[in-house]
Each structure stands twice: as structure tokens, then as C-alpha cells.
Amino acid sequence: MVAARNRIFDAGLYDPIVDAVAAACTSSGSILDAGGGPGRYLAAALSSAGDDAVGIGLDLSKFCARSAAKRHPRVLSVVADLWAGLPVLTGGVDTVLSVFAPRNVAESARALTEGGRWVIVTPEPGHLAEIVGPMHMLTVGDGKSGRLARELAADFAEISERRVRTTVRFDESALIDVAAMGPAAFHRTRDELAAAAAELAGRAAVTATLDVTITVARRR
């Protein structure tokens, strides 16, 4: 999964989302990427925030942690379960990232400074809709925005909400990787994903939609 994610990132296929996350992290300080995977979003956020910013990449996977530590010289990687509590001091970080990741609302609120920012990326139902079925990927349910608003109500004030919607082209190998970087990797073998990609793409690249919402909320 980590190798597949890094190939997708290195090919620039998710750059519109990466760039939007980086644009939301312009203030210096400390950035905690909770459930940060291989570290691409955190690395981009640190580059945008400036030379004084430092990052903590947190993931349950040691393979993700190793990848994140190599992505940027100012990243500290921690292997931890975010549901067991974020291993940082109360009020210890200026920004929390939750990009395609589970959200521990209480712990994110505890970890942030007053006025600290929580940058949250959630997929819309149209995200990768053209390939979700053929590649046996999980669909995105409706009602996520309403659920997020309810989660944030007690401790956060919403600063902004930005929709990122664009199209990208996936060749056959990229189709395999974009499926393998998510939960489909747990219940489909790579050979099964390769067969699905070959049937979908053949010799031609497939156009699919990136469709996410980036919410920036401020700790009250």
C-alpha cells in the first residue's frame, strides 16, 4: 500500500489535492499529520509553512512512518494508534492534518493550541467515481459534510471550506496503484487488481475525477 501511494504521489496524480493542503498550511509552527500515511501531504505542508515549521507524522503502520521520515528533513515519525490518544502535549501543536484519515475529534481539539487549525480532507461521492466500480474500490457515502459539521460544532469554528474537483488520467499501472493504496488492497490480490485494470483500460488511459472538500477549522 505504501509503495502504491508513493508511486501515485511521485507521478503527480494527486498534486491538486497535495497543493490545496499545502496552501491551507501557511503559518509556521508545529504540524501533526494524524493518520498521515507515507507523508506526502505533511512534506508539502511543511514546505508551504516555511523554514520554522516542524512536522510530526503519526500512523499505525511502521512502513508509513519510515516513508514519512524520508519525505522531509523536518519530520519526526511516530508509530501510534490515533484512537489510543495523540502522543503530544495538550495545546502542543499549531496545525492538525486529517487527510483521507479517521478523525479523533476530542484528541485533535486537545492537541491544538487555542486558535490552532485543523485541516480536514474528505472525499465527495464523485471522487474517482469512474473507476470505483470496475476497480472494486469502496464508495463514498452521502452526508459526510453534515456529519463533519456536527463533529466540529463543540470545539471548532469553521474558517473555510474549499472544493477541489479536477480530472486526471490513469494508465493501467496507475489504476492498479490507486486501488492498491486504499482498502481494496486488503481484499483483492494485486493480480486481481491488474486484471480489473487491464479490462478497464486496455491500451488507453482512463480519465477519472478527483473530488474532495478541504475544511479548515479553528480551535475555539
Asked if the structure places residue 149 within a domain, the reply is yes
Asked if the structure places residue 200 within a domain, the reply is no
Question: Does residue 212 register a pLDDT over 70?
Answer: yes
Contact 22, 44 (CB under 8 A): yes
Dump pLDDT digits (tens) for 30-88: 999 999 999 999 999 999 998 999 999 999 999 999 999 999 999 999 999 999 999 99
Asked if the structure places residue 113 within a domain, the reply is yes
Question: Does residue 142 register a pLDDT over 70?
Answer: no
- How much is the pTM? 0.94
Asked if the structure places residue 48 within a domain, the reply is yes
Terminal C-alpha separation, the chain: 36
The pLDDT, as a whole number, for residue 75 is 96
Asked if the structure places residue 9 within a domain, the reply is yes
Q: What value does the mean pLDDT take over residues 186-190? A: 80
Asked if the structure places residue 215 within a domain, the reply is yes
CATH of the domain at 77: 3.40.50.150
Number of domains in the chain: 1
Contact 199, 136 (CB under 8 A): no
Dump pLDDT digits (tens) for 3-43: 999 999 999 999 999 999 999 998 889 999 999 999 999 99
Pairing of strands 75-79, 93-99: unpaired
Q: Which residue, 167, 183, 161, 176, is CA-closest to 127?
A: 167
Domain that holds residue 151: 2-124+139-167+209-219
Q: What value does the mean pLDDT take over residues 156-172? A: 94
Question: Which letter, b or e, does each residue of 77-99 get, where b requires 16 or more Cβ atoms within 10 Å of its Cβ?
Answer: bbebebeeebbbeeebbbbbbbb
The residue type of 73 is: P
Asked if the structure places residue 119 within a domain, the reply is yes
Asked if the structure places residue 130 within a domain, the reply is no
Q: How confident is the model at residue 203 (pLDDT cuts 50, 70, 90)?
A: low
